[in-house]
Structures are given as C-alpha cells and as structure tokens.
Structure 1
C-alpha cells in the first residue's frame, strides 16, 4: 500500500474513487457538498431516498456522477459531528477501505481530513487515518497457495489544502514508518512456530541491521548465556530441541551522552506450557507468545525508517517452551542472572523466567527507562478483557506517560496496582521466591515477580496477553502495543 498527500478540489481529482464524508442527519462535509453541486444535486437526491443516514461507518458507492473527474464517489458516514472521536475516525476509514476492496478499486482519494475529530490536530488525524487504512488492508497469506483473493487497492491519497499538504508530508512519512513496523510485527507474530523459531527471530534482527545502518545487532547463543549465568532463561529452553537466543539491538540517534530507553520483548516462539502442559484447545495460539519480541523488532524498524532522534536498546530473550525428558519440572530451583533463586511451581509461568534475566541484563546500559512487553498472563485477560493492555510499574511519571500515549494512539492501557502487599504471595520455603503466587491477582503477582529484578531503574511492564492478537473468525496478530510505544517515543523525541 502506497500513501500520498495531494491538494485540490474533490471535483477535479483524478482517481478510481473519491471518498467524502456525511454526518448523521445527511449533513455533507465541504468536499461532499462540492461534489453535490458539481453533479447537479444528485448526492442530495440519493440521500433523501434514505440510502445512507450518515451513521459512523456506513458506506454508499456512487458510480459515474456527472461533473466529477473521479470514476466513482464513496460516501462514508461519520456519525454525529460533535461525537466523532478517535474510534469513530478509525472506523470510518476502515469501513471505507473495506468497501473499496470489495469493488476492486486500484486507488482512492480520501477527502476526510477536513472533518477530523475535535481534540486532534491534522497531523495526528492523518497518522491515525493511515494506520486505520493499512490495518484494514493487511492480510497474512504467505502460506496460502492460492493468492487470487488479494485485493487491488494499491494507493491512497489524502486530500488537503496546498499549505496543509506541505505541512503533512513529514507526518505522513512518520505514519508510513509506523504502519511498516506494525506490519512487520504482525507478520512475525502470525508466523507458525515451526518457522518462527528463536533462530528465525535472531535472523530477523540481523536483517534489520543489514537494512538500516542505524541499527546494530548482537545475538548471544546458549554458550554465551551460560557464561553470563542466565540460569532462569536457560532452564525454560531445556525442554526444546530449538536452541535459545538472546538478541540485543541498539539504535542511537539521540543525544550522544543520552541514556537509552531499553525495550524488552518476551520471545517464547511456542508455549506448550512445558511439563505443566496447557489444554489442547486454542494451543495453536501459543505461537503468539513471542508478540512482545515481534513488537520490539517492529519498533526498531519504525524508528529507523523515520530516523527518530532517540537512543534505544532492545533486548529479546527467545526460547521455545516444550515438554521432554530434559524439561524444567515443577519443584526445580533455578538461579537467575541476578543471583536470586527461584522455585518453579509451574512451568507454564515461563515468560517471567526469561524476562527476569533480560531485565537484569538491562542494568548494564544505565537506562533512562525500561519497558517490557509480554503476553504474560491469562489473568490479565480475565481482569481487563481484550480492550486495554495491563500496565504496572515502579515510576509514576513513566506510567503516566505510557497511559497518555495509549489514549492518544487508541492503543490503550490500564494501570493495575503494584503494592508491596503482593510480594508475600511469592514466598517460597526453599528459594528466594516462587515463580507464581496462586490464583488470585495473577497479572499483578507476575509483575510483582518482575519488580524484584527492576529496582535499579525506572520500569514499566505491559501485559499484552489480551491485546496482542485476536481469536475466532478474526484470528490474527494486532501489532499492539507498537502504536502506544511509538507515540510515547515520538513525544520523548519532540521534548528533546
């Protein structure tokens, strides 16, 4: 999908389809009104018949209107003008793309920026529109033999005034970079576990380094991790024939003496649960247990593409969690990189075991902040459903900044408590701690476990178990929390 910014009148745009808005009550946006006048009032006449009321997401395709250069006109409902918000803005664009894909339009000109929601600026509205369009166009068909169903929409132009069009060129470039990062994240997460192994993720990190000179990649193998003392991570990997990898990415385009932000992504490329075997139902979805790792790679690609002036380090501990005669067992005690010992009461609570070593490794960078992203607990899905990611942390300004970025991007998070009270639930008779805290407050006790390894820097944890992928008929990766993190990083870059 290609995107562009153009200036001009809706009546004279050369395109397979021009897209204009209609508010509820059949109120036309300025571009829709211009098309109506040029066509001798045909749009008004059609709307009076009741074919479209203007409810958000409604669409109506009108072919070959007189007095208009475009081959077709697509009317899209925007809802009540005063109530149009981020969600409605994205829905209108997504439904418009869906209608265009059904009709096989090769290109389209969107004239909706004149009606963006209150509380946004035009640049922000453009970025959200690009992401909504690209999300609706995305499909993962790499393993399908028959790709004849691939839709034809190749280019979308956004129409603005001449002055605005010039000012929107940079926001468009940023939006395209974010969209590319989201696509990479989705592609990696949607890959089957027999293809996307720890070694595959390491190769993808190397590919990014070869593609962008601003990214440096180092991959630690099992021997290197043994020398470091990453006993918790290596214990999880024991049950699999796939060797573990610890991926380090660096991107330093911020101030030369600036401390980096460290992003940590859980990379369990398939999670069977290990000896604590998961139920068979929906176990196929455990290929998504590396969505945090995929997000880190997508974020680095997006930052490099837009040349964002920040300092970043990415840490990806990646393993496969399988049952075998060599596998970690309930009751085993392992020693983490920090030196703290962990009694493993459940081998399906493996994500925190690989993350704790990565979080300890992060200390060597003297980070400004550390944010980990992990499909960590089903308990978070029970608590919050699949709308927000769970957010916990030890630094109020960091947590608040991430919450704000989530609201601004539409990739929302919700804060859960991280009180010391929960630490008592992790007590062990035989080790420094247990890796689970019982049935109650599972998302919080998992974060409380991680908190024991993050005392030396500002830290936040995003539990994306409910947001990283969709189930059912729409099964597939969502690319979250990349929009949230990129919005936060862009805000940091803007602040200097």
Structure 2
C-alpha cells in the first residue's frame, strides 16, 4: 500500500475520486455541473455516471468538519460502505482545503485516510482462495502544493497503515498456519531485514529456566509449545528511556480444560490480536524512524486441553515470584501477560509499560465494539493515552483500579488467583491481577476485546488500537525532539 501526494491535474483517471461539498474550489471544471447537482443533497453522494473519463467513480462528501468526532464517524461509515473491499482501483482524495497546521484537523484527517487505505486489504489476499482479488493499493492525496504538513500526513498515513496491515494479516491467518513458532519465525525474519531492529526468542526450555510458570502452564497442553518474543527498536541512545508494549498472543484458545462451546471457539484464532498489534506497531515505529527506544514483547501460546494441560486448581510460580492458583483455564490471557509484563518490567525498566489484550468479554458488555477499556496504575500515563485516543478518535474509556479490588484476586492457597470468586468487575479484576506483575513501573492495560475485530457480514481483524499507540509515541517523540510543532506530531 502506498500513500502519496499529487496535484489535482495529475489525478489518475482510473481512480475513485473523493471530493468535499464545502471545498468547491478543488472541483474539476469538467465535473462542476455534475457536482453542483450532487451537492443539492444534504447527504454524501457517489456515482459512476457522467464522469467524462476523468475518474472511475466520484464521491462528494457532505461535510468537511472532520475535527468533530460525530462527523468523522459518519464519514468513515459512509466510505466503508462505498469503498468495496478490496478496492480494485486507486483512490484519490482532495486534502487541499484543510488546515493541516491545526493539530486536530491533521490527526483526524489522518484517521479518515487510514480507514480509507485499509479498504485495499481483504481476507482473500491471504492466499487461501484459488482466485486472488486484484487491488491497486494506491492512495493519492490531492493538494495544490507539497507542503511539509502534507508530506508528513502522507508519511504517517502510510506508516500506520503498513503496521496495521502486518498485524491484520497476522491475526487473520488461520491458527494452523499461525502457531507460536510461526509468529516467532515471522518476527525473526522481520527483524533481520531491518537495521536498528532486533529479535530475541525464548523457547519453552528458556521460558521454564526463567521461571515463567504462568506462560509455561498455558502452553504446555499443546503440541506447539509457547514462545516469548521480544522485538527491539533502537532509535535513541542506550541510556535513553525505553517504552515497552506487551501483547497477548494466544494463537488459538479452546479454553483448555475449561473448554469453550463451539460457537465461542469460532473466532479464537483472534485471541492473539494484542501480540499482532504490538508487532505491527514496531513496523510503524521503524518506518517513521522514531527517535525512541521501543520494545514489543509477545507472549505466544496455544491453550489446548492436552494430556499435559494445566488443570483447575493447579498452582504455579510466576516470573515475578508470586504463586498463582489457576481456577479457570479459560482465563489464560492474564497468565501469559503476567509473566511477559514482569519480564519486560525487570529487563527493560521502561518509562512506560503498556499491554494490549483481547482479555475479557466483560469489557465488551460495558463499552461495546468501538471503545477499548483502559486501566492503569499511573494517572499521568492514563492521561497521555486518553489524550492520544481523543486526538485520533481511537477511543478508550478509563475504568477504576485500586486496592479495593484485592479480594478479587485473593487465593486461600496461593498468593493470587487468576479468577475472581464472583462475577463482579470481571474486566477490572483481570487488570488488577496484571497490576501485581508490573514491579511498580508505570503501566497501562488496554482491553481490546471489542475493538480488535471488525464485525459485519464476516469477522476480521481491525488493527486497532494502532492509531492510539502511534499517536502516544509521536507525542513522546515531539517532546523529545521539539520538532514539527505545526503537524500532528
């Protein structure tokens, strides 16, 4: 996928041209009579007729007030309906009428563009169908002049989308081709192809030697043993702070001995969306050449009811030294994250530690499919993430987290239990369990059970919360470099 700048006069004639009702100065002269007629409607309009061979399809968007969240959502929904996926023709969208020096306009236009360019990807492109769809995979941004802000907008849009495509393809891959060792190999191949990136893989033996009893317990029931994969981007001096991201990577979740029903298992190849997201984030960081030290830790395991599988009532010792009573083997995500968080916290002593996980169905019941749950032990970090979420409209909602939830993780036989003794505060209880493994590092937990997937006629990975996490790092980068104050950085 490419996102590039061009002028209106050089707009490809095979493109789907997207214009704005309120930016009439950018309308092609030959299409003005048609556009005047389309503009009579208060709604966005699209047509394939009367285009004078200037484009393949023409869309006129009803409002350019993209800094308004409600308008941004309406436009995104409309374009998702109009742009058949995978888009077979290039897409050209006019950006000449926007004030890109305005931080909100820049970021929210970028959010819309990322949604548009993601329409070039669809499940058949994974290669499992005999007939492969053809997609041009080119987004043209039409502008009167190639300003620094427009150049930065194109660069960020492409970088974010490249990361999202990596994570979406990985999460969409069937579990028989996406085992822990497969993801680890893909990470190693990725790191070997790029300077300043490094990959370290811990196999099942190293996992046991390092005392990661929770990760080991989760993966030992499968013929495909667990892996802990660390990707590192060295964009700053070794003495500079590190920002760590941890992803839950359950490549398939049967529930283990606490076996799920068939319908509940149907989408469980997606229980590794957190790991896929932090992997994709590293692609974005690398592409943007961010002047930061960033690590991504992926805790990879299959949760299977094999002969060696963990049993309800088992007690294991975690990397942090806490003993954990495993009551529900289908609450395995918090187990693998516990060891991964402890490992990342003690190894890298990060300035911020953020985990991403499809952790609980309870957060979906609370927040739905468009808002991720946010829980943190650090108000400043929580505020940073909320600001990035508001700017990008990759939305989150903070949930409480304090010592009053201690009874929810208390065990009578061990230091902690992975399952509350009741059905109260399930999402927060899971996060509170994780907080015990962060070694006092500033930490935030993103429960993306509702937002990690796009749901419609079929299910596929959404790539979220890539925009939120990228903006978080861009804001830090701005603070570190004090550059480009006029852009979304």
- Asked if these proteins are the same fold (TM beyond 0.5), I'd say yes
Counterparts of 1:437-456 in structure 2, within 5 Å, are 437=420, 438-456=422-440
CA distance in 1, matches of 2:5, 2:77: 18
SS of 1:327 mapped into structure 2: coil
Find the counterpart in structure 2 of residue 60 from structure 1.
Answer: 47
Q: 1:413 aligns with which of 396, 402, 406?
A: 396
What's the counterpart of residue 119 of structure 2?
A: 136
In the TM superposition, what is the alpha-carbon distance from 1:109 to its structure 2 partner? 2.8
Q: In the alignment, what sits opposite 2:451?
A: 467
CA 1:248–1:163: 2 relative to 1, 3 Å: closer
Match of 1:479 among 463, 469, 481: 463
Q: Is 1:31 matched up with 2:26?
A: yes
Work out which of the two has the higher radius of gyration on C-alpha atoms and give 1 or 2.
1
Counterpart for residue 366 of structure 1: 349
- The alignment covers a number of residue pairs equal to 477
What is the distance in 2 between the residues matched to 1:369 and 1:192?
A: 32
Which residue, out of 15, 18, 21, partners 2:19? 21
Matched, 1:127 2:110: yes
1:202 counterpart = 2:184: yes
CA deviations over 1:46-102 (Å, ceiling 9, x no partner): 348x6xx1424x32334343xxx72456132224x5576356446546745764659
Corresponding position of 2:212: 230
Q: Which runs of 5+ in 1 are unaligned?
A: none
Candidates 338, 348, 372, aligned match of 1:389: 372
Q: Does 1:181 align with 2:163?
A: yes
User: Is residue 21–residue 78 contact of structure 1 (8 Å, CA) maintained in 2?
Assistant: no
Kept in 2, the 8 Å contact 1:217–1:247? The answer is yes
Residue 2 (structure 1) aligns with: 2
Q: Can you list the C-alpha shifts for 1:87-141, whole angstroms capped at 9, x where unaligned?
A: 6446546745764659986334322441579965564355324311122221021
Name the CA shift for 1:31/1:236 in 2 (closer, same or farther; >3 Å): same
- How big is each residue's C-alpha offset from its partner over 1:325-360, in whole Å with a ceiling of 9 and x where there is no partner? 211111111111111111111111111111111111
SS in 1 for 2:165: helix
What TM-score do the two structures reach when normalised by structure 2? 0.90
Distance 2:360 2:32 in 1: 59
CA RMSD of superposed structures (Å): 2.6
In 2 relative to 1, CA 90–207 (structure 1 residues): closer, same or farther, beyond 3 Å?
A: farther
The aligned residue for residue 377 of structure 1 is 360
1:147 shift after superposition? 2.6
Are the counterparts in 1 of residues 453 and 462 from structure 2 also a CA contact under 8 Å?
yes
Q: Secondary structure at the match of 1:133?
A: helix
Match for residue 41 of structure 1 among 17, 33, 39? 33
Aligned mates of 1:22, 1:403 — CA distance in 2: 30
Q: Secondary structure at the match of 2:175?
A: coil
Counterpart check, 1:327 vs 2:309: yes
**8 Å contact kept, 1:113–1:126:** no
Q: 1:30 to 1:97 in 2, by over 3 A?
A: farther
How far, CA to CA, are the matches of 1:458 and 1:432 in structure 2? Answer: 22
Contact 1:19/1:74, CA 8 A, preserved across alignment: yes
Match runs of 1:311-326 below 5 Å: 311-326=293-308
1:256 Cα deviation (Å)?
3.6
Query: What is the CA-CA distance between 1:21 and the residue it aligns to?
Result: 3.2
Contact 2:245 2:355 in 1 (8 A): yes
Larger displacement relative to structure 2 (205-214 or 90-99): 90-99
The offset of 1:482, in angstroms, is: 1.5
Higher relative CO (Cα under 8 Å, sequence separation at least 6) belongs to 2
Structure 2: stretches of 5+ with no match in the other structure:
481-489
Distance 1:176 1:130 in 2: 9
Aligned to 2:487: none
Q: 1:159 aligns with which of 126, 142, 149?
A: 142
Residues 108 and 391, structure 2, Cα contact 8 Å, conserved in 1: no
2:334 aligns to what? 352
CA distance in 2: counterparts of 1:476 and 1:332, whole angstroms: 35
